[in-house]
Amino acid sequence: MKLYVVSGLGADFKVLEKIKFPSHVEVVFLDWIIPEKNEDFKSYIEKMAARIDDSEPFYLLGYSFGGIIVQEIDKIKPAEKVVILGCIKSNKEMSGFLKANSITKISRFLPTPLFNEKSALVYAVLRKFFDSKNPMIMDYFAVRNPYYLKWSIEQISKWKFENNPKVIQILGEKDIIFPPKYSKPDYIIPRGTHLFPATRPRQVSTILASIFS
């Protein structure tokens, strides 16, 4: 069965490359699409979902912002299972950091050029969203289009979603963006930061083997 995977904000498959997916699952990575200017979230989700073949059963897996994307895709093209890594199941699970919108709210008023790859603002956001102590942080940051980054941060801050009991949630114990205390995760990765798919791949692989058995 195919497993369609969407990575995190600005990240490509490298964040997930150490994970060993079950051999009977065919992993199909969905690259990020750069949104059109002023494109609404619904239209963007429809474009992402268009690349999924729903003529046969499939799974969905999303990491971080990709977790939000796959939950939205599931409303258009229902999957057999939906797994989210380092992501929330509803806006009610947002941490104090996101609720305060200290960065996300102000982003809509900042000019797009400030979101270029050398921007201190972008680096600060990535440090927050991934792992503030990881020296390899920029190695996982592959999608650097300024408009995409600004647009994505705005979508995260505006996202509204009701908890779907079908979604299987895996969180890192030390994740400061999506702390487990605000959710009821199905699995918690001990000592895992928001970057746990890259830093704790063995634990994640074991859990996924059980989910997709």
- pLDDT tens, residue order, the chain (213 aa): 999 999 987 777 888 999 999 999 999 999 999 899 889 999 999 999 999 999 999 999 999 899 999 999 999 999 999 999 999 999 888 876 666 554 445 455 444 444 455 554 455 555 555 555 655 656 666 666 777 777 887 888 788 888 899 999 999 999 888 889 999 999 999 999 888 999 999 999 999 999 999
The CATH code of the domain that includes 142 is 3.40.50.1820
Pick the closest to residue 185 from 106, 76, 95, 89 (CA basis): 89
Between CA 170 and CA 185 the distance in angstroms is 6
Between CA 127 and CA 119 the distance in angstroms is 12
Contact 87, 169 (CB under 8 A): yes
Pick the closest to residue 13 from 63, 80, 54 (CA basis): 63
Measured between its terminal Cα atoms, the distance across the chain in Å is: 11
Burial call 96-113: b when 16+ CB within 10 Å, e when fewer:
ebbeebebbeebeeeeee
User: How many domains does one find in the chain?
Assistant: 1
Contact 140, 130 (CB under 8 A): yes
Residue 136: domain span: 2-211
Between CA 104 and CA 157 the distance in angstroms is 6
